[in-house]
Amino acid sequence: MRRMMLGALALAVLLAGAAPGQSPRETGAGQYLGDEYLDRPRGFSLRPPAGWWLEHDHPRFLVKFSERNYEAFIIVDEVKTPTPIKLDQEFRDLVLKQNQEVKKTMPGFQVIGNRPVRLNRVSAYRTEAVFPAGPNKVLINIYYVPAKTRVFMIMTICPEAAARRWDPLFEASTSTFTVLE
């Protein structure tokens, strides 16, 4: 009886791993994205992961997408600039200044790295950071996308221990970010 139970358990684990919708890494995260979120007044669009909750009346962000169990988030915000911004040293300085502002509001925010990236064929900048949350750490990626006289910030947030699970969806979703100007 015990052998039969172990065999059934092993089969269930194998079948669960192969079931559609279980792992974005197995079949490509793009198919796990929902419909496009289009915000014409604010000038951007993004395809969030399918089934995520939308909060667009948040007082601190332009829009926030939350995973159903509130384990992972994608947040879009913007920073206004007095003049049009180019991807140069001035832009890099703005990113570093924004990271310092985040540190002020989130003590314990620790930058792991900053680097230039391409986001939907647009040059951008990415900050990777961790933040202590009780006994755990939260992984935060912030993509800075220049757009005339403002910079969009697309933030992906999840527990560090679950980052491998969420990264494919985050990458797929953030790569759809489009400035409409």
134-163 pLDDT, tens digit each: 888 999 999 999 998 899 999 999 999 999
Query: 53-85 pLDDT, tens per residue?
Result: 999 888 889 999 999 888 999 999 998 988 888
Max Cα-Cα span within the chain: 74
Residues 115-120: what's their mean pLDDT?
87
Return the pLDDT at 173.
95
Contact 85, 91 (CB under 8 A): yes
Q: Is 104 helix (H, G, I), strand (E, B) or coil?
A: helix
Measure Cα distances from 137 to 70, 105, 162 in Å.
Answer: 15, 17, 10
Ramachandran area for residue 43 (φ above 0: left; ψ -120 to 50: alpha; else beta): left
Phi, psi of 163 (to 5 degrees): -60, -40
Please give the domain boundaries of the chain with CATH numbers for all domains: 1-26 (no CATH), 33-179 (3.40.1000.10)
Return the pLDDT at 87.
75
Residue 7, H or E segment: helix 2-18
Quick one: how far is CA 14 from the chain centroid? 30
The count of other CB atoms within 10 Å of the CB of residue 129 is: 23
CA distance linking residue 173 with residue 103, whole number of Å: 26
Ramachandran area for residue 32 (φ above 0: left; ψ -120 to 50: alpha; else beta): alpha
Query: 11-46 pLDDT, tens per residue?
Result: 222 222 333 333 343 334 456 899 999 999 999 999
Q: Is 61 helix (H, G, I), strand (E, B) or coil?
A: coil
Confidence of residue 3 (pLDDT cuts 50, 70, 90): very low
CA distance linking residue 130 with residue 119, whole number of Å: 21
Return the pLDDT at 130.
94
CA distance linking residue 51 with residue 73, whole number of Å: 12
Side-chain-facing half-sphere of 111: CA atoms under 13 Å = 16
What is the amino acid identity at position 4?
M
Q: Is the pLDDT of residue 110 over 80?
A: yes
Higher pLDDT, 93 or 48: 48
